[in-house]
């Protein structure tokens, strides 16, 4: 499929994980600064890298790592035709084997999240969606190795998997900084958590909530305000 955003275009037919609300929310909410050195773990079609590139307008460096060859090639194409081809570098690699000599100021990921669940027939989709290809422990180890002393790690996970990762982070040298509960529909159970971690502890975890739809299944003003710089026809 193809998706046209305000400042870039995404093709994702070669990617196991398609463009979705989770990544758009994460890319819009992540706090990024001009000049940041950024790592996108499991970049897929390149959506998160392109969202952050738009936000820093080329003033920074983004390394997008993707293990699947077809997805990495598609990400390279999406980035090449974007306004920021020189800001983002795509590397086909298993993140556990990725080595850099300079740490990152910001790491972002919409990682595989199914734990101990039934695998499907398509291997590339299993790798993208299930933790058999990248366990939570491996993800946290990679982040700890790549994140700078003052850097921040942002990701999104379903409720159960988020709680598991928060518990694992305590033994991985990472401290929860922010926790945003995402409700697909207002007043319904929590659907996802957007989280940030750092190597340093903070006095108090910043907690927030976002509702995607209201009771009438219309986008909330909160969601529209957050994503209006990316979606067409929203401000």
147 pLDDT more than 80: yes
pTM of the entire structure?
Answer: 0.90
Instruction: Note the pLDDT tens digit of each residue in 7-25.
Output: 999 999 999 888 999 999 9
Residue 233: the pLDDT is 72
Instruction: Note the pLDDT tens digit of each residue in 176-225.
Output: 999 999 999 988 999 999 999 999 999 999 999 999 999 999 999 999 99
d(CA 87, CA 50): 9
Q: What is the mean pLDDT of the chain?
A: 90
Domains assigned to the chain: 2-227 (3.40.50.150)
């Amino acid at each position: 499929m193809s998706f046209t955003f305000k400042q870039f275009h995404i093709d994702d037919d070669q990617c196991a994980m398609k463009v979705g609300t989770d990544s758009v929310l994460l890319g819009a909410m992540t706090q990024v600064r001009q000049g940041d050195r950024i790592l996108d773990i499991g970049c897929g079609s390149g959506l998160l890298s392109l969202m952050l590139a738009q936000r820093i307008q080329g003033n920074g460096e983004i390394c997008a790592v993707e293990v699947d060859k077809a997805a990495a090639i598609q990400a390279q194409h999406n980035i090449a035709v974007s306004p920021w081809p020189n800001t983002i570098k795509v590397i086909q690699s298993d993140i556990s084997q990725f080595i850099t000599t300079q740490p990152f100021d910001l790491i972002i990921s919409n990682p595989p999240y199914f734990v101990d669940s039934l695998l499907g027939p398509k291997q590339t989709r299993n790798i993208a969606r299930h933790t058999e290809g990248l366990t939570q422990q491996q993800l946290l180890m990679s982040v700890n190795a790549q994140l700078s002393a003052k850097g921040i790690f942002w990701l999104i996970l379903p409720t159960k998997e988020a709680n598991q990762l928060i518990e694992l982070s305590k033994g991985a040298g990472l401290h929860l900084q922010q926790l945003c509960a995402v409700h697909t529909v207002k007043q319904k159970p929590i659907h996802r958590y957007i989280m940030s971690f750092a190597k340093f502890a903070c006095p108090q975890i910043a907690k927030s909530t976002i509702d995607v739809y209201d009771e009438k299944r219309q986008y909330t003003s909160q969601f529209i305000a957050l994503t209006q710089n990316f979606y067409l026809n929203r401000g």
